Amino acid sequence: MLTILKNRFEQGYRTCNYPKEKPAVFPRYRGKPVIQKTVDPEMVKACADACPQDAIVVDKMKIDMGRCIFCGTCERLSKGEFVTFTGDFEISTANKADLLTDGDLPSLAQHAKQHFKKLFGRSLQLRQVSAAGCNACEADLNVLATPFFDLARFGINFVASPRHADAIVVTGPVSRNMKTALLQTYEAVPEPRVVIAVGSCTLTGGPFSHSAEVAKGLDTILPVDLFIPGCPPHPLTNLHGLLAFFKA
For another protein, the binding residues (CB under 8 A) are 3-4, 6-8, 10-11, 14, 25-26, 28-30, 50-53, 69-73, 76-77, 128-143, 145-148, 158, 160-162, 172-173, 175-178, 180-182, 185, 206-208, 210-214, 231-232, 234-235
Question: Binding of ligand SF4 at residue 53 (CB under 6 A)?
Answer: yes
Options 15-23, 48-56, 180-188, 239-247: segment touching ligand SF4 (CB under 6 A): 48-56
**Residue 6 touches which member of another protein, ligand SF4, none, C-beta under 5-8 Å by kind:** another protein
* Number of residues binding to ligand SF4, judged by CB under 6 A: 26
**Residue 235 touches which member of another protein, ligand SF4, none, C-beta under 5-8 Å by kind:** another protein
Give CA separation, 140 vs 69, 145, 193, 203, in Å.
Answer: 15, 10, 23, 16
C-alpha 229: how far from chain center: 4
β-pair type (83-85, 33-35): antiparallel
- Among the listed residues 73, 157, 175, 211, the single contact to ligand SF4 using CB under 6 A: 73
C-alpha span between 44 and 78 (Å, rounded): 8
Question: Binding of ligand SF4 at residue 228 (CB under 6 A)?
Answer: no
- 163 φ, ψ (degrees, to nearest 5): -65, -25
Site mask, ligand SF4, residues 192-221, x = CB under 6 A? -------xxx----xx--------------
Strands (E) in the chain, as ranges, are 33-35, 56-57, 62-64, 83-85, 100-101, 124-130, 156-158, 167-171, 194-198, 226-228
Q: Number of C-alpha atoms within 13 angstroms, CB side, residue 231?
A: 21
Contact 143, 235 (CB under 8 A): yes
Please report, as ranges, the residues that interact with ligand SF4 according to CB under 6 A: 51-53, 55-56, 63, 68-74, 133-134, 136-137, 171-172, 199-201, 206-207, 231-232
